[in-house]
Structure 1
């Protein structure tokens, strides 16, 4: 792979010192960052392609720690979680390999176009999701939607998850990794959780599941199983450094301490949690306890958008608004949640999440010469640009996206696939899936 350099960009490294380089240059060779620093101190190797980064900011690619691919955008609306889930399940009752492939392809395209370079996707027929990721070049973590309780046979099986590990884990030069995926305590038996813990140890893969998303859900778990959600997951032996829990809106102080003590990570999905009336997760307390917290979109079916720029802004604002504290979750903390914290939650912090020598070149280049980011004042503390990256920037500013040093987005357009074709195919498949769900609507059942 030919090397390249991006010169004269405002570089936000998100390294351990949050170093900002107002006039920086970054060099990539063989898909790896080999130099990053002030332009005056970097020597660009002979033969490298040189890209002019003037008027641009260079960041680590954004990381979506919890998503569900879907073609069901804007269909199940105005419902709290426990009412919404029976309708959402119709998508999985109607799901086919073809629907899954087009769902993933569309969502991965949207993710890339909004600056996301790595997605944790929990979905169905994930061998086809892997096909979609390979086409677009996106880095993905695949966690099949496993459920094995009676009546939940429309989700993935434990055997499917095992096969996917053997067939796809660490494929595409490591861009595709497979996790043990567990839907929910009401969907999975104790055997499923204990097997996930065992396979995690045997294969060195992660475990991903949902936890404590809504107050009513937490009450139902306690009534049905005799323990709160986190205590049940702890009892089943899945908490630990390889485990990522989505949501965790209703954790109490003792539970937050337990998450921290076990090294378990959390995927915070503020937009979805607000949209489904689930509540506001105690993120400042989680971070203060030492919990690794990344950001997730939760997918288009309960968010409508896959933009982590929206997620970053809302994650900060919802804490400020509900706590009446304008200092809650400042921009530097939020940017880390969307990058290096996300990488750490996915077990990838040694590979991606910051712009440091030796890490893979997962890069996001933003055009600053747009009305929404003007005027720009950049210094070694970030200036006003640091704040505007979180509170003003958006997908319209995305000028370039690279994964493993390969450019996947060039001024908004995908380089490896025909984006218009992906969208046209998804339109056709999406309407067919909607109709299949309507025909099954009489079969919906409650979550419990």
Structure 2
């Protein structure tokens, strides 16, 4: 039996009661949490490895990135709205090789882990190689291949590739790898592709991930082309439901919010990407009030530049306060839930991760409270100022330790599984090569529609 305990730490459990334990202990056995509570109430067996935080560390559930795209194209396609940006982004997929995909995923997963993200929903290409990268680093990854079958979109993944990935990788790496049916967009996928995804959902027991309602001009084009708005079309195809996750959903109307709530469809909210691509500000408080489950997503380095979910939490709250002129909009406890248990539920994993509760897998993140940006800190059973500073002051660089399935993957800020210098150096070489290949294909740029 492998057993360890983290003691004398400020625990933010994100359980149904949002319990905060100012001086707490978490006991882990064979990758699962077997005890959690005030330090004085938890009996630690004699042969346990003890990590004594001495009141100087906070422990959170592992953060969940509910929508990302691995990429090496960081900072390459800038100052463009979505509809102008997409033709340039597509060049990456025209030029991409299996090795590019592997180095992209390995770099992104390393960045995510070091910032406290233990689980990623990744929509990308050559995802068997992404699974290889995940296996090296040890984190939890949901794989949704970029499937497109419309004419002129043959540089994305195929439905058969997606099905083969389900057969070979779904549930692999002790369950840390989950494979989804991934559909790019209404303009990229045929009606048969959507209906086939629903059949695969039933046949294989997998979930469906796609984009919707990201930009107003895009939504206008969908209505003009299909005669229905995006949510209406996805509903028509039978896609909505508790096993479907939609990314973005910036331009929902009241009826669409109600329909998504009624069907139990989850949304991956990507506020930084939506702002950077001038897509707009999603009606997040209205969605939550209607009962829609929301996770937070970075959308990947190609349209965010960062994979830091602490940044995402802060921006998600602030953009609502600013645009609604309401300082109470999306408070810290609500946005922390989106980044943890909300994301876990969106991925169908809330029974296993997303909170610090007995029986759940030990996906945990530890932060150093001695950093200047988190000082002074006061922790109470209501969270104290530390709750607010975890959302509005903390950064991924404050993370000292990360555990997934009870295995320590980041220790004092460094990976225990890979040579970080080698990962970065190979990604640098691969990225520069990819940039040159993309430039050589510039003449192949095509509009989204």
TM-score bracket, shorter-length normalisation = over 0.9
Paired position in structure 2 for 1:21: 21
Paired position in structure 2 for 1:368: 369
Q: Aligned partners of 1:151 and 1:395: how far apart in 2?
A: 40
Paired position in structure 1 for 2:268: 267
TM-score norm. by structure 2 comes to: 0.99
Paired position in structure 2 for 1:209: 210
* 8 A Cα contact 2:36 2:357, kept in partner: yes
Q: Aligned partners of 1:428 and 1:410: how far apart in 2?
A: 27
Q: Aligned partners of 2:218 and 2:48: how far apart in 1?
A: 55
Q: What SS is found at the alignment partner of 2:110? A: helix
The aligned runs of 1:180-329 (5 Å cut-off) are: 180-329=181-330
Question: Which consecutive unaligned segments of at least 5 residues does structure 2 have?
Answer: none
Paired position in structure 2 for 1:350: 351
Q: Are 1:45 and 2:50 counterparts?
A: no
The Cα offsets for residues 310-353 of structure 1, whole Å up to 9 and x where unpaired, read as 00000000000000000000000000000001000000000000
Paired position in structure 2 for 1:419: 420
Q: Aligned partners of 1:242 and 1:372: how far apart in 2?
A: 39
Q: What SS is found at the alignment partner of 1:343? A: helix
The Cα offsets for residues 367-422 of structure 1, whole Å up to 9 and x where unpaired, read as 00010000011110000000000000011210100000000001110000001100
Paired position in structure 2 for 1:171: 172
Q: Aligned partners of 2:53 and 2:21: how far apart in 1?
A: 12
Question: Which consecutive unaligned segments of at least 5 residues does structure 1 have?
Answer: none
Q: Aligned partners of 2:437 and 2:411: how far apart in 1?
A: 36
Post-superposition, which runs of at least 4 consecutive aligned residues in structure 1 deviate over 3 A? none
Q: What SS is found at the alignment partner of 1:5? A: strand
Q: Aligned partners of 1:244 and 1:326: how far apart in 2?
A: 29
Following TM superposition, by how much is the alpha carbon of 1:218 offset from its aligned partner in structure 2, in angstroms?
A: 0.1
Following TM superposition, by how much is the alpha carbon of 1:46 offset from its aligned partner in structure 2, in angstroms?
A: 2.1
Q: Aligned partners of 2:83 and 2:397: how far apart in 1?
A: 35
* 8 A Cα contact 2:296 2:312, kept in partner: yes
TM-score norm. by structure 1 comes to: 1.00
The Cα offsets for residues 166-219 of structure 1, whole Å up to 9 and x where unpaired, read as 000000000000000000000000000001011111111110000000000000
* Number of aligned residues: 448
Following TM superposition, by how much is the alpha carbon of 1:72 offset from its aligned partner in structure 2, in angstroms?
A: 0.2
Following TM superposition, by how much is the alpha carbon of 1:53 offset from its aligned partner in structure 2, in angstroms?
A: 1.6
Q: Aligned partners of 1:429 and 1:411: how far apart in 2?
A: 28
The Cα offsets for residues 51-79 of structure 1, whole Å up to 9 and x where unpaired, read as 01220000000000000000000000000
* 8 A Cα contact 2:123 2:182, kept in partner: yes
* 8 A Cα contact 2:309 2:396, kept in partner: no
Q: Aligned partners of 1:47 and 1:173: how far apart in 2?
A: 26
RMSD: 0.5
Following TM superposition, by how much is the alpha carbon of 1:45 offset from its aligned partner in structure 2, in angstroms?
A: 1.6
Q: What SS is found at the alignment partner of 1:336? A: helix
Paired position in structure 2 for 1:9: 9
* 8 A Cα contact 2:211 2:248, kept in partner: yes
Q: Aligned partners of 2:412 and 2:314: how far apart in 1?
A: 23
Paired position in structure 2 for 1:391: 392
Paired position in structure 1 for 2:160: 159
Paired position in structure 2 for 1:76: 77
Q: What SS is found at the alignment partner of 1:64? A: strand
Paired position in structure 2 for 1:105: 106
Q: Are 1:131 and 2:132 counterparts?
A: yes
Q: Aligned partners of 2:46 and 2:265: how far apart in 1?
A: 45
The Cα offsets for residues 7-53 of structure 1, whole Å up to 9 and x where unpaired, read as 10000000000000000000000000000000011011221100012
The Cα offsets for residues 140-161 of structure 1, whole Å up to 9 and x where unpaired, read as 0000000000100000000000
Q: Aligned partners of 1:82 and 1:295: how far apart in 2?
A: 23
Q: Aligned partners of 1:206 and 1:378: how far apart in 2?
A: 39
Q: Aligned partners of 1:396 and 1:347: how far apart in 2?
A: 28
